[in-house]
Structure 1
Amino acid sequence: MKAYRPRSNLTTHEVHNQPEPLCDYNLYLTDQPVQDAFTRFGKASAGARLTAFGALLGSDDILAQGDLANKHLPELKSFDQFGNRIDEVEFHPAYHKMMQIGSNAGISSIAWQDDEADQGHVTHAALEYLQYQVEGGTCCPLTMTYASVAALRHQPDILSQWLPGILSCEYDPRSLPADQKTGLTIGMAMTEKQGGSDVRTNSTTATAIGDNMYELLGHKWFCSAPMCDAFLTLANTDQGLSCFLVPRWREDGDRNSLQIMRLKDKLGNKSNASSEIEYHHAQARMIGAEGRGVATIIDMVHHTRLDCCLAPIALMRQALSQAVHHCRQRTAFQKKLIDQPVMQAVLADLAVEVEAGVLTFMHIARKFDDSAENSDARTYARLAVAVAKYWHNKRCPNFVYEAMECLGGAGYVEESILPRLYREAPLNSIWEGAGNVICLDILRTLQKEPRALELYFAELTPARGTNKHLDRAVSRLKDLLKSGDNHEPQARRLVEQMALCLQGALVVQFAPTPVSDLFCATRLGQDWGHAYGTIPPRHAVDQVLSRVWQD
């Protein structure tokens, strides 16, 4: 946040050669790679929406709101002053402001609106990419609300009740029954202490009480955004693990017996009230077929993974924006930092990482849109989103650190956004399946759906013969896939190579030649060191950097 007319002529010295804070800018119009990717994969008429949203998010006021939402943390109020159980979480007004602008923009709803049905997932992805750069905690309930529709479709009668509130684009923070609110948010509660990602070990039970109504008894180790209006969850019936929708309010108008035991004290994502909860005979409705809970909720997980693969790229973009903004203003050794060859190498290396990531998540989001009418697109998207989620998140923490180093000490202090980005950087690798879980999921997909691998290589085919490094990398990947039946010990290596080949194919087809040449020479050609900035000579770094920031 920019201070109002600070003093620079002090008694002991004059303050100079210090960059202005990055504020009052348009996150969308300054970002050429995302504009180009949206033009290719998105709906042209949504460009005005993204431009307006980028301007709003980059305003001094909203940047400050994102900061405040993470400094003033949510508080759990288990009881009211008279000892009545309420299980409410109180948030700072800045959190509600960020939720409001995200909801109003359509982050949680636009993918399912009829007039956006053809490319709504691409628009959703672009909107969330912009919001995540300013405030990540609110993106969790927005993401879950967006993704919930995919699971609720398994129960059309319940979907019809909840969908109008999900699609309303209104944010209504009041604690009221769903039918009294102008807008709804949907959360998720799956993991338990004993199992984590192994949800088949869940011990929560569901007892039928008639008319597709059940009572749930058990605990959930993680329930993010506990002020949502309902939660998709898993519990065991006589037929096995099943999926349920648990509203915060019962149908008779009383509070449901969903108790918030505590809020998690997390490394980052501070504005989001992740919690531990218990169901004390909480009323719930079954979603989908009994005993098919994992198959039902996996559709929600599939969509949340899209946001988990774009979120690290958003963090990386914001970190890169901060680094480039600083280097354009800061002078050292008689030159602007941006003109120093060694700094140019670092920034160009960071820039191609972001551009490849943007193309990848936009490409995958388009496959989500195509999935409505195309089973091959659906099969491919399930594989590709997992591959991208794994790789993008593995790249994020060290990327943010390198951007922080570009600012030196100014990037390490809490007045900067970079410490918040750094704390946020590991998050999306852990959520919705940590690295090993994702890699094992991919191996299972390759075994059970061979068609998915055929479709993956088909996506690489248009780039064949255009870059020698890419061609060799694809050959190495095929050799790796042929090297026996047990790929589990090499699962991470395999998924990494799949991610890099996909990114390489996309940049070769859709990015400017200086970007694709640098990406392929380093990531695929093995002409690269062990840190950002160790790029080979003779690459047009000035042309790469010209795309990073558009004045």
Structure 2
Amino acid sequence: MAATHEVFNQPTPLADTNLFSANRALQDALRLNAPGLATDRLQALGALVGSAAMQDHARLANVHTPELRTHDRQGHRIDEVEFHPAYHALMAAATGAGLHGTPYASEEQATGHAHTQRAAAFMLFTELEPSILCPISMTYAVTPALRDNPAIYADWAPKLAAQAYDPALKLWRDKPGVTMGMGMTEKQGGSDVRANTTQAVLDGQDEWGARYRLAGHKWFFSAPMCDAFLVLAQAPGGLSCFFLPRVLPDGSRNGLRIQRLKDKLGNKANASSEVEFDGASAWLVGEEGRGVPQILAMGTMTRLDCALGTSGLMRQALSQAMHHTAQRQAFGKPLMEHALMQNVLADLAIESEAACALSIRLARTFDQQSDAREQLLSRVLTPIAKFWICKRGSLFAQEAMECLGGNGYVEEGGEGVLARIYREMPVNSIWEGAGNIMALDLLRAMRKGDVTEALMQELAPARGQHAALDRMIDAVPTLLDVQANESAARTLARDVALTVQGALLAQTAPAAVFGAFCDSRLATRHDVFGTLGSGADIHAIIERARPH
């Protein structure tokens, strides 16, 4: 009698591959933006995050979600979040790879490409979709802000840059490495941080400067087990930035009360919370009344990570789709050999490469902040990149999931990462300012200098390589003039993003990718994946993007 259950035509998991060596788009973006960069560390990280063991950690950290422990068994208030061991393994790997404050270490900065290299590493790590990178990203963003309190910076900066992880709640000086978070939004304000009601009352002076007592709340307080946070509160001089550690210098726990953890759509492994400050001690960072400018500076860096994170998720979704369709048979041949599937895969590959090119270019601006034009570009390209790349992310993940059919919709197994990716995509679009906030931020950035001149210089190397791109480049001055108003700001962000992506692909991508991008995104308006024209060299595009 024949067996009733035989498993066949099921693809093997995509595991134990080097995510860096397989990513030609990322390698070429680095050649343009970080010439001469040694990639041995990226090769090692690519092998690590592509391993089955790390994939299992990412799965377990998302399945066994954080749990809040407000009190111990004797009734003492402890306000701790308990994580699965896989979470800690991922955090140790991320800090070990220097994804947090390490780019600010002098030996890292000496390379001239510290932020660009870190950006590439962040993208590779995101391919796991581990949901643990929020504290890593916040540590990266807040480390330079601490310079506005030299005493705190002197004590904490070495620990923030250390490639070490210790999850225990204990005094900073007793730990090999520390992490930091941010607490800005309140339930009545959201993105309107000026509506904050948390109050700060001066409580004395010590070795860290002016010390205050905080009373109030935060509605979204991500990664509450970080060692310290930068928070906003109303001081006598206005909305100000404060340094709030979990453990005080005398070893006691600060008055930070975790009320509950958020039940989120995705980002499951990361604990996001609501907290109250019960007379919590905090130290002023910068001047009273200067909280918003400091937040904007930190927001620029976390928004970079939103673009990087989405680009990494795109790459993994594409790899999963290609790996599956190369093996799965349907109607007499592998799915990848069907013309319509090839069109979809090639179109996704183009989108992924364009996102990678723009994200790495943006990261380069942080390595060149002494250059006035690069400084201006970082201010302008940040909202553009976050707006457009993150807006495309959810659509991208859905299309990649469709390539797997029902298998893509199922959580378990190696291909289950696509369901996690789909649920994770919106967080990068929403966190640190949703689409409207980014569009408005672009308008503010345009008032900071000669944006037109900076962008035209950026686009100049691509002139003459495609008629549609030339038309877009020629139109940029008019776009920046006519669309520089609130109602048209989203259109402006999209059009400039596409133009810059086209110009970058002209310098990093082969003709097949560059030509198809310009034909499908610039010559015509791209409304759905899988609609590349007959002139696209689909086979060349797919071969470049395949994960092996």
1:203 aligns with 2:197: yes
Partner Cα separation in structure 1 for residue 91 and residue 516 of structure 2: 39
Partner of 2:18: 26
* Pairs within 5 Å for 1:120-131: 120-131=114-125
Q: Which runs of 5+ in 1 are unaligned?
A: 1-8
* Partner Cα distance (1:175, 1:431) in 2: 26
Cα distance 1:550–1:44, how it changes in 2: closer, same or farther (>3 A)? farther
Moved more, 155-164 or 451-460: 451-460
Residue 272 of structure 1 is matched in structure 2 by: 270
Structure 1 residue 251 displacement after superposition: 1.8
Cα distance in structure 1, aligned partners of 2:500 and 2:519: 15
Q: 1:10 to 1:515 in 2, by over 3 A?
A: farther
2:36, 2:105 → 1: CA distance? 16
| Offset, 1:550 | 5.1
Structure 2 portions without partners, runs of 5+: none
Query: What does residue 309 of structure 2 align with?
Result: 311
Matched, 1:426 2:426: yes
The reply on whether 1:47 has 2:39 as its aligned counterpart is yes
Tell me the distance in 2 between the aligned counterparts of 1:85 and 1:229.
Answer: 17
SS in 1 for 2:148: coil
Find out whether 1:481 has 2:473 as its counterpart.
Answer: no
Partner of 1:471 in structure 2? 470
Give 1:45 deviation, angstroms: 5.0
What are the Cα deviations for residues 396-423 of structure 1, in whole angstroms up to 9, with x where unaligned? 0011010001011111111111111110
**Among 156, 162, 165, which residue is 2:156 paired with?**
162
| Partner Cα distance (2:50, 2:325) in 1 | 19
Which of 50, 69, 72 is the aligned partner of 1:58?
50
Matched letter for residue 423 of structure 2: R
Q: Is the 8 A contact 1:46 1:123 kept in 2?
A: no
Contact 2:22–2:546, Cα closer than 8 Å, also in 1 = yes
Equivalent-residue separation in structure 2 for 1:240 and 1:106 (angstroms): 35
Q: Distance in 2 between matches of 1:90 and 1:272?
A: 11
Deviations, residues 156-209 of structure 1 (Å, cap 9, x unaligned): 221111011111110000111111111100000000111111101111111111
- Aligned residue for 1:238? 236
Which of 404, 411, 414 is 2:411 aligned to? 414
Does the 8 Å CA contact 2:68/2:82 hold for their aligned counterparts? yes
Tell me the TM-score normalized by structure 2: 0.96
Q: Deviations over 1:426-471 (max 9, x none)?
A: 111110111101101111221x213233212221122122211111
Distance 2:380 2:144 in 1: 17
Note if 1:147 corresponds to 2:141.
yes
Aligned residues of 2:214 and 2:277 also touching (Cα < 8 A) = yes
1:422 is aligned with what amino acid?
Answer: Y
Give the 3-state SS of the residue equivalent to 1:417 in structure 2: helix
Letter in 2 for 1:314: G
User: Does the CA-based 8 Å contact 1:113-1:120 persist in structure 2?
Assistant: no
Please give the residue correspondences for 1:155-234 in structure 2 after superposition, counting only pairs within 5 Å: 155-211=149-205, 212-234=210-232
Which residue pairs with 1:455 in the alignment?
A: 454
C-alpha deviation, 1:536, in angstroms: 0.8
- CA shift, 1:310, in A, is 0.9
Q: Does 1:94 align with 2:91?
A: no
Pairwise CA distance, 1:13: 4.5
Deviates more, 1:453-462 or 1:339-348: 453-462
Separation in structure 2 between the aligned mates of residue 346 and residue 10 of structure 1, nearest angstrom = 39
Q: Is the 8 A contact 2:59 2:130 kept in 1?
A: no
Q: 1:546 aligns with which of 524, 543, 546?
A: 543
Matched, 1:401 2:398: yes
Residue 43 of structure 1: how far off its partner (Å): 6.2
**2: distance between equivalents of 1:270 and 1:483?**
42
Report the AA paired with residue 198 of structure 1.
D
TM-aligned CA deviation for residue 155 of structure 1: 1.9
Q: 1:395 to 1:107 in 2, by over 3 A?
A: same
In 1, are the aligned partners of 2:349 and 2:542 still within 8 Å (CA)?
Answer: yes
Task: Determine helix, strand or coil for the equivalent of 1:194.
Answer: coil
Structure 2 CA distance, aligned partners of 1:431 and 1:536? 35
Deviation at 1:21, TM superposition (A): 0.9
The CA RMSD measured in Å over matched residues stands at 1.5
Question: What code does the residue aligned with 2:137 have?
Answer: T
Alpha-carbon shift at residue 297 of structure 1 (Å): 2.5
Query: Is 1:359 aligned with 2:382?
Result: no
Matches of 1:356 and 1:482, distance apart in 2: 25
SS in 1 for 2:251: coil
Does residue 68 of the first structure (1) align with residue 60 of the second (2)? yes
Secondary structure of 1:227's counterpart equals coil
Asked if structure 1 preserves the Cα contact closer than 8 Å seen for 2:62 and 2:130, the reply is no
Q: Which amino acid aligns with 1:417?
A: V
Moved more, 505-514 or 41-50: 41-50
- Report the alpha carbon displacement of residue 474 of structure 1 after superposing the two structures with TM: 2.7
Closer, same or farther in 2 for the Cα pair 1:262/1:342, shift >3 Å?
same
Query: What residue number does 2:256 align with?
Result: 258
CA shift, 1:227, in A, is 0.2
- Alpha carbons of structure 1 residues 475 and 44: separation in structure 2 relative to 1, 3 Å: closer
SS in 1 for 2:116: helix
2: distance between equivalents of 1:107 and 1:235? 29
For residues 296 and 479 of structure 2, the distance between their equivalents in structure 1, rounded to whole angstroms, comes to: 29
Q: Distance in 2 between matches of 1:29 and 1:320?
A: 16
Return the offset for 1:39. Answer: 2.7
Equivalent-residue separation in structure 2 for 1:205 and 1:379 (angstroms): 34
In structure 1, the residue matched to 2:492 is 494
Q: Hey, what's the Cα distance between the residues in 2 that align with 1:414 and 1:370? A: 42
Match for 1:33: what amino acid?
A
Match of 1:258, as an amino acid?
Answer: L
How far 1:46 moved relative to its partner? 3.8
1:12 shift after superposition: 1.6
- Which has the larger displacement, 299-308 or 471-480? 471-480
Q: For 2:237, give the aligned amino acid.
A: Q
Deviation at 1:337, TM superposition (A): 1.5
Equivalent-residue separation in structure 2 for 1:230 and 1:298 (angstroms): 19
Q: Counterpart amino acid of 2:65?
A: L
Alpha-carbon distance in 2 for matches of 1:482, 1:182: 51
8 Å contact kept, 1:141–1:228: yes
Contact 2:61 2:130 in 1 (8 A): no
1:286 aligns to 2:284 (yes or no): yes
Does structure 2 retain, via aligned residues, the 8 Å contact 1:151–1:298?
no
Match of 2:325 in 1: 327
Give distance in 1, aligned partners of 2:473 and 2:249.
Answer: 56
Partner of 1:385: 382
Give distance in 1, aligned partners of 2:229 and 2:419.
31
Percentage of identical aligned residues: 47
Q: 2:97 aligns with which of 85, 88, 105?
A: 105
Q: Counterpart of 2:81 in 1: which secondary structure?
A: strand
Q: Which one-letter code corresponds to 2:463 in the other structure?
A: R
